[in-house]
Amino acid sequence: MKRSLYREYRPQTFAELVGQDHVARTLRNAVETDAVAHAYVFAGPRGTGKTSTARILAKALNCVGTADAPVEGPTATPCGVCRHCVAIAAGVSLDVIEMDAASNRSIDDVRDLRDKIAFAPVDGRFKVYIIDEVHMLTREAFNALLKTLEEPPANVVFVLATTEPHKIPETIISRCQRFDFRRPQVRDIARLLATIVERENARPGDERGGPRIEIQEAALAEIARHSQGGFRDAIGILDKLITYSEGAIKPVDVLEALGVTDADLLFEITDVVTERRTAEALQFVQRLANEGTDYSQFIRDLLRHLRQLFLLQHLEESARDEASLRALGQTVELDDQLLNRLLPQANNLPPREVIHFIETLGEAQREIRDGLDARLQLELALVKVTRPQLDHSAAALEERLRRLEAGAAAPAGAAAKPIRAARVVETEATPALAPVATPDDAVSPGATAAEAPAATAPPAVEPPEAELTLERVKRAWELILQRVQASSVSLYAMLRDARPSGLEDGRLTVTMPSDFALTRARDAGNAELLAGAIEAALGQLLLPEFVPATGLAAEPAGADQAAAAHNMDFTALIKQAKGTFDAEEMPDDS
């Protein structure tokens, strides 16, 4: 039978526990000072060493040492060779009861547990119960367990292991000492894998049952990176690669075995998107198709890549020296090599574009989960992020058209003046995503809020009768920003520090905090988005104009007017859109 590397290299002593120093230290102290608790909760992700640690604790409590070095009581350094240590490591000790709560949920199992608990240790000093996935126990089982924990029998130790500690009743948790097992760092896992390879190669060939293992260090890092912080998974991947690879194992073998995307591709597509090369982005998808790539897996990998960029962009300022940069790499779960590649890309990308990209891909991921065509969703997402103006203005125009079709449109030419808006009651916080309204949904201009169908979105629509003043806009600004946030996080971020500063002739002046924010805010589609949010919150249409903090004088009036004309002539936009609504292309106003 093939040996399992994971079983073989399971940590056997507290010293061998990798990445859980706090747990090892506290347990060792408890054993040495005779302060072992009656019950422990070991909480943490799968594969982080919870059960291994429980077994080491059991050995520490029961080890009797060798004839040369007998052990009289619990020891922090179990010998590993006495009959107790051997039996516990092999999982056959009568004093260490391991059960999996997930598969022991019947009444009989509970009774069985209760009966077994009553027994004193058979052979050793302590009886140790290791209940895996303890949160899966039934209520009856928890009750039985609670009774035992309330009056713990002498020389019995419970280890309750769980990946979901919040599902364990508080009455149980409060009677246990809790340890949280952390996900080990990528470098810890890579180091452990290197040790295993070294130890395997040190064995005689016939014992190893195969040729010497040749594996590149970068391949070990790749395994570590993709094991999601679990030793078990990492060792499992290594095991599989050793079995199936011929010759030296390279990073590309790891990627192939795992079916994950080569990092080069992730860097490439991110560059293509940053430079707005739509055609190349679509050709990229064709390449993926030619290679038989799993689109869902690709989107997952790209999201991971973008998350790393995103974290770097927002954490980097705290990392100026080598040591803090290293710590940063750990947060982002990166090794130095990949970190050094990612930093330039993180520095090149505007943070709001990364956020937009993540959101758009997340949306695609949801659509795919709902059964829509994966390739099309990926293509759509790439077009949206390479042509943001298309995305925004299309959404904004669609919204305007929806209102026009509902028969409640403003009279032509009225867009420049504050109008008594005919409102369609929003059923969604995001106007662009709201279901298309039928005429029945439209509220006649005279209707009060009470007559309108109940709106579920939190910002209440104020009655349109009140005259719209700058003061009212200022009071409603938070509500308006909430609306904006629902449709565009990036615009929301730009407007966070902006303020409404003037209102005249239906034009709302919005003072931007910086030139950067000003330039960004003037991108096509943003004024429409804000106008939509204002209308949704206040029931009236205003045309926002983004101005610099120093006032209008800072910019030549001509340029300002040009910007206004470019961004804000709704009437013309709508006319144009109406005229071409049945055409294949929406107007691109960039």
Chain residues in the site for Zn ion (CB under 5 A): 63, 78-79, 82, 85
Identity of the residue, 82 or 156, whose beta carbon is nearer to Zn ion in the bound complex: 82
205/207 Cα distance (integer angstroms): 5
- Strand ranges in 344-488 using DSSP code E only, listed in sequence order: 419-420
Identity of the residue, 122 or 202, whose beta carbon is nearer to Zn ion in the bound complex: 122
402/383 Cα distance (integer angstroms): 23
CB of 128 to Zn ion, least distance (A): 14
DSSP tally for the chain: helices H, then strands E: 27, 10
Q: 464 in helix, strand or coil?
A: coil
CB of 167 to Zn ion, least distance (A): 35
Identity of the residue, 80 or 152, whose beta carbon is nearer to Zn ion in the bound complex: 80
Beta carbons of 136 and 101 less than 8 angstroms apart: yes
Beta carbons of 76 and 32 less than 8 angstroms apart: yes
421/419 Cα distance (integer angstroms): 5
Sheet of 507-511, strands arranged across: 499-504, 507-511, 543-547
- What is the token pair recorded at 148? 């035992």
Identity of the residue, 79 or 385, whose beta carbon is nearer to Zn ion in the bound complex: 79
- What is the token pair recorded at 534? 């204002």
| Cα distances (angstroms) measured from residue 154 to each of 36, 128, 132, 337, 467 | 12, 11, 22, 53, 78
CA R_g for the chain: 32
Residues 6 or more apart whose CB falls under 8 angstroms from that of 204 comprise: none
511/474 Cα distance (integer angstroms): 12
CB of 36 to Zn ion, least distance (A): 16
Identity of the residue, 83 or 496, whose beta carbon is nearer to Zn ion in the bound complex: 83
Check residue 407 and give left, alpha or beta (phi > 0: left; psi -120 to 50: alpha). Answer: left
CB of 84 to Zn ion, least distance (A): 6
Identity of the residue, 125 or 507, whose beta carbon is nearer to Zn ion in the bound complex: 125
Beta carbons of 410 and 375 less than 8 angstroms apart: no
CB of 93 to Zn ion, least distance (A): 11
Round to the nearest angstrom and report the end-to-end CA distance of the chain. Answer: 67
Identity of the residue, 83 or 314, whose beta carbon is nearer to Zn ion in the bound complex: 83
CB of 182 to Zn ion, least distance (A): 28
Helices within 370-433 (DSSP H only): 374-386, 388-405
Identity of the residue, 39 or 85, whose beta carbon is nearer to Zn ion in the bound complex: 85
Q: 541 in helix, strand or coil?
A: strand
481/534 Cα distance (integer angstroms): 9
CB of 40 to Zn ion, least distance (A): 21
Single out the residue of 56, 62, 68, 72 nearest to residue 24, CA to CA. Answer: 56
CB of 158 to Zn ion, least distance (A): 22
Identity of the residue, 60 or 503, whose beta carbon is nearer to Zn ion in the bound complex: 60
CB of 192 to Zn ion, least distance (A): 24
CB of 344 to Zn ion, least distance (A): 53
Identity of the residue, 66 or 171, whose beta carbon is nearer to Zn ion in the bound complex: 66
- Strand ranges in 109-209 using DSSP code E only, listed in sequence order: 127-132, 156-162, 177-180
Identity of the residue, 86 or 586, whose beta carbon is nearer to Zn ion in the bound complex: 86
CB of 18 to Zn ion, least distance (A): 22
